[in-house]
Structure 1
Amino acid sequence: MAALFSETAPFFTPPSPAFEVQEPDTFALLDSSMRERFSSAAARPDARNAYQAWAARARGNPVPMLVDIPEDADEDRYRNDICAWRACGIDIRRVVSDPQTGLRGPNGPCLALDQAALVRGFPTDWIFQGPRGEVVRQIATASSPQVARALGDTIAAALRLGEAGAPVRQAADQEAQGWSRAKIDALHHADFERFVAELLHRDGFRVEQAGGGSGDGGVDVLAYDSLGYPIVVQCKHFQHGVKRSVPANVARELFGAAAIMRPHPRPFLVTNGRFTTDCRVWSTSEDRVRLIDGPTLQRWAVSGTHLSDVVARR
């Protein structure tokens, strides 16, 4: 629950993912810690086979919700949760405090406490107090640290806007109104990348990279929404945008770069020009890449509308 004064409350927006969230892959999230656990038992002849069996089941399966199953619980009550984790090669009925135990069972390894905390989103150096059962309960029932941070960030943003008042917001709106197609076309390609990054920052994204270079894999801008989910942007700028089109191979390059990143980001391709028909067909098939062309880009810059709404209206 968040309580704000009346002059600040209008500027508060509850945090939410900017776009639909792709659940993390169980294998990608837990592979490093599983390798470490199984390597500690490498002297046992079946350790490698047990790890490979877990990896085969975990790869490609999203991480299920973490649950605290009491030792004396009726397993029928948790059947769906147990089955979901079993499909990922994990026996969720027990969480072990010693990572060298609970590795080999007919339903796969149990989670260790640090892995359960990782699933819930806690930093690796987070310290829990109490016996094993209490720690499991703390991890499973606590609010996600990412959500807590996102809530704090949105409250802080509302406080800043409330203190700044109308003049600051009006100045920002007037600056956005000045972005004509001709002005956007006249930008240097590096300035165009920074321009897109500034629009993301305006919409509440945390920008970590603004500007690409050689070996960037097609990623010019890397940003995170209010809940910490990433998006990657490739920018294609033309001096005469209305006459130029981005081909499909550019979208494929960006999609390939995003596919090997962890966690999986949402890829965007932004241009002041147009997209070829092949590019649009390939990108929109299975929602591979979100496309923003010249007219959409100008509307995004001038209207002050959030990126998610701009894309949704297209």
Structure 2
Amino acid sequence: MWAAGHWANVWPVLLAVLIVAVLGGSGYGLWQAHRRAVGKDRAWRLEEDARARELSMTEVDALTWQDFERYVADLCRRDGCTQVVVSGRSGDLGADVIGCLADGRKLVIQCKKYAPERSVSSQDMQKFLGTARNEHGADVALFVTTCRRFTAAALGLAVRHDIVAVHRDLLGAWVKGARLDSLLPLNGRGHGDGGSRGQRRSPA
């Protein structure tokens, strides 16, 4: 009886509540759909970037180790490095490429032309860190490789001794146009193809 007597006052409130509920449900559904679409787009872009990096690496994979060192030197020059020299010989004590960054710091690079499925071992890293600064006076030391991962031990050495570890993913980005100064802070992050899992399986 009360509702019948006050229906004129009640129904606008009920209608407003119903509209809010419908709009809220629709809005939430649209927001969820948007999130899914953004997530799918981000995943697609990451996959496309990875595919483009691999495509850009096909020519690099065809290089000899000597040509690979010269190619890395060319990348350095492209990004503003000066006085870039390639040793191109054995007994270089880990300094395959030497030059100066645009800000004047001395750059020393070890290049390892490995098959993609290989890993850079801690022994490889130990040899380089033992000479990069003590023998060559590096301000910035890079270990650049065509393989996908550094072992956990090798990457740990690199981080502790401030050696920039450039694996295949980062090299692919560099080849594709990323500038050297944008790669330096990454130091080994961004392993593709399950790289971090591979590290845990490869302690040496």
Q: TM-score range by the shorter chain?
A: 0.5 to 0.7
Distance of 1:195 and 1:178 partners within structure 2: 17
Change (3 A) 1:265 1:179: farther
Query: C-alpha deviations, 1:131-162, integer Å up to 9, x for none?
Result: xxxxxxxxxxxxxxxxxxxxxxxxxxxxxxxx
Aligned mate of 2:151, from 263, 273, 276: 276
The answer to whether 1:312 aligns with 2:188 is: no
Query: C-alpha deviations, 1:173-210, integer Å up to 9, x for none?
Result: xxxx9962222111110111011101100000014312
| Paired residue secondary structure (1:182) | helix
Distance of 1:186 and 1:206 partners within structure 2: 27
Query: C-alpha deviations, 1:102-147, integer Å up to 9, x for none?
Result: xxxxxxxxxxxxxxxxxxxxxxxxxxxxxxxxxxxxxxxxxxxxxx
TM-score by length of 1: 0.40
Aligned mate of 1:220, from 70, 74, 96: 96
Q: Percent identity?
A: 31
Alignment-derived partner of residue 134 in structure 1: none
Aligned mate of 2:85, from 167, 188, 209: 209
The answer to whether 1:188 aligns with 2:54 is: no
Count of equivalent residues: 135
Distance of 2:88 and 2:125 partners within structure 1: 16
- Asked if the contact 2:144/2:167 (under 8 Å) is kept, the reply is yes
The answer to whether 1:230 aligns with 2:106 is: yes
Choose between structure 1 and 2: higher strand proportion.
2
Deviation at 1:265, TM superposition (A): 2.9
Distance of 1:179 and 1:231 partners within structure 2: 28
Distance of 2:134 and 2:179 partners within structure 1: 27
Alignment-derived partner of residue 160 in structure 2: 285
Gaps of 5+ in 1: 1-176
Distance of 1:284 and 1:262 partners within structure 2: 19
Distance of 1:285 and 1:228 partners within structure 2: 24
Choose between structure 1 and 2: higher helix proportion.
2
Gaps of 5+ in 2: 1-52, 190-204
Kindly report the root-mean-square deviation, in angstroms, between the aligned alpha carbons of the 2 structures: 2.3
Computing the radius of gyration from Cα coordinates, the structure with the larger value is 2
TM-score by length of 2: 0.60
- Asked if the contact 2:54/2:172 (under 8 Å) is kept, the reply is no
- Asked if the contact 2:86/2:97 (under 8 Å) is kept, the reply is yes
- What is the one-letter code of the residue matched to 2:96? D
